[in-house]
């Protein structure tokens, strides 16, 4: 399993260097630091557009069958995704003064995430075949720890670079040029992350003998599992409560609190280090006590991070470190989701189950992000939306219990 850990570590470094924070601060400096309507809309779309395109991950099992080799498909996605993302630093110098530069950022960011999402679904199904059921919690906990360790290194590198180079540049100089170096470095680590996957075996996957129409029906077969549908409802509710504050959180930090990229990445780094330190232990607790208890406590603790944003102002911006600490416990939800899906899915349908869950839940995230970004930005109700997000996250806990203990029974398939 070491290649799977090394893949997560390298991808994490790339993700930390070429992150959503880097793109949002790039947008800030492209427009000269003015929080215009176009900036608010672009930030909302940067967060939401990849999730909307991610609905196409439902087609992952069909794509794998068309490729005829799951390993080859997965590795190809992990190579193609950063090549697509490379279009941003490559085209930016020629488009920086054009009217479509912000649209270009959104399009390439969206397509990159689509390829990444599809590859991740294939990879999770692949790892599900390799890891025994009794060890999945520990495995995904350790892999999450490797991923977080890589992200922490990437965040720290990008944050220190922004503090030492970008924020110290005179305002009359074109700051956007300084973003190209961390972007290209991130792309290098993204590409390197595909190499460890070549060492993993994939002799348990067999190509489907069905035609395209049969494969499309198989893609929706998880919908016959009533308990899985209940779990999707839970996941969508959680993503909806998170999405309401996604665009607002970036805009609020940059323009209302005046936070630069180094502190913003320090918040993320604090969360990642905490998740890295407890990831393996949380996986062991899930194996020992079950998904329900650990996920419930994690949801409860994480929800209060939104309230900290609601009370912060420019003189107390450092309170956001408290939110970052609380969000450490999101790792319990992440590991619990992966393990629950594997527990509910038949071995032959794992890719379809992961694809359907992430497609629906991330669509909920995308739509709520656009809703929160547009409506509350126009109305100026930033603090209200943070309180609303806290309340909705708490309501996810009884919904989780219902989905696991009282969910709709399995719907028998009809011949």
pLDDT at 380: 63
Residue 413 burial (C-beta neighbours within 10 Å; 0-12, 13-18, 19+): exposed
Is the dihedral angle over the CA atoms 325, 331, 332, 334 positive or is it negative? positive
Question: In this predicted model, what pLDDT tens digit does every residue of 393-407 receive, in sequence order?
Answer: 999 999 999 888 765
Q: Residues 356, 58: contact at Cβ < 8 Å?
A: yes
**Per-residue pLDDT for 242 more than 70?**
yes
Q: Residues 164, 259: contact at Cβ < 8 Å?
A: no
End-to-end CA distance of the chain: 39
**Per-residue pLDDT for 357 more than 70?**
yes
> What does pTM read for this prediction?
0.76
**Boundaries of every domain in the chain:** 2-405
d(CA 155, CA 157): 5
Question: In this predicted model, what pLDDT tens digit does every residue of 216-233 receive, in sequence order?
Answer: 677 678 888 888 899 999
Domain at 2-405: CATH architecture: Up-down Bundle (1.20)
**Per-residue pLDDT for 414 more than 60?**
no
More confident residue, 208 or 404: 404
Residues in Cβ contact with 287 at an 8 Å cutoff, skipping those fewer than 6 apart: 134, 135, 136, 137, 138
Residues in Cβ contact with 404 at an 8 Å cutoff, skipping those fewer than 6 apart: 227, 231, 291, 292, 340
d(CA 61, CA 215): 8
pLDDT at 415: 32
* Chain-centroid distance, C-alpha 244: 15
């Amino acid at each position: 399993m070491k290649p799977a850990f090394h893949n997560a570590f390298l991808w994490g470094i790339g993700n930390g260097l070429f992150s959503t924070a880097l793109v949002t601060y790039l947008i800030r400096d492209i427009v000269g630091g003015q929080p215009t309507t176009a900036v608010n809309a672009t930030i909302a779309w940067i967060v939401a557009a990849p999730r909307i395109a991610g609905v196409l991950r439902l087609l992952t099992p069909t794509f794998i069958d068309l490729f005829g080799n799951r390993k080859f498909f997965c590795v190809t996605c992990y190579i193609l995704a950063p090549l697509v993302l490379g279009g941003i630093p490559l085209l930016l110098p020629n488009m920086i003064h054009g009217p479509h530069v912000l649209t270009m950022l959104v399009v390439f960011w969206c397509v990159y995430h689509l390829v990444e999402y599809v590859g991740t679904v294939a990879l999770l199904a692949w790892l599900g075949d390799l890891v025994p059921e009794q060890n999945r919690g520990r495995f995904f906990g350790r892999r999450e720890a490797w991923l977080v360790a890589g992200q922490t290194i990437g965040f720290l590198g990008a944050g220190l670079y922004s503090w030492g180079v970008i924020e110290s540049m005179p305002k009359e100089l074109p700051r956007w040029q300084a973003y190209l170096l961390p972007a290209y470095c991130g792309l290098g680590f993204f590409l390197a992350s595909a190499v460890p996957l070549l060492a993993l075996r994939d002799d348990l996957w067999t190509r489907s003998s069905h035609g395209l129409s049969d494969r499309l029906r198989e893609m929706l077969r998880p919908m016959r599992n009533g308990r899985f549908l209940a779990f999707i409802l839970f996941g969508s509710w959680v993503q909806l409560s998170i999405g309401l504050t996604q665009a607002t959180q970036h805009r609020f930090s940059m323009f209302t609190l005046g936070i630069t990229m180094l502190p913003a990445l320090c918040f993320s780094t604090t969360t990642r280090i905490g998740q890295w330190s407890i990831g393996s232990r949380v996986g062991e607790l899930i194996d020992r006590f079950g998904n329900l208890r650990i996920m419930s406590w994690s949801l409860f603790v994480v929800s209060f991070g939104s309230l900290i944003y609601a009370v912060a102002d420019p003189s107390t911006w450092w309170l956001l470190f408290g939110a970052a600490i609380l969000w450490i416990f999101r790792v319990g939800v992440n590991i619990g989701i992966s393990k629950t899906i594997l527990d509910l899915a038949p071995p032959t349908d794992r890719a379809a189950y992961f694809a359907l869950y992430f497609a629906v839940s991330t669509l909920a995230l995308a739509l709520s992000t656009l809703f929160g970004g547009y409506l509350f930005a126009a109305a100026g109700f930033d603090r209200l939306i943070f309180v609303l997000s806290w309340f909705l996250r708490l309501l996810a806990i009884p919904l989780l219990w219902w989905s696991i203990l009282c969910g709709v029974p399995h719907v028998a398939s009809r011949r």
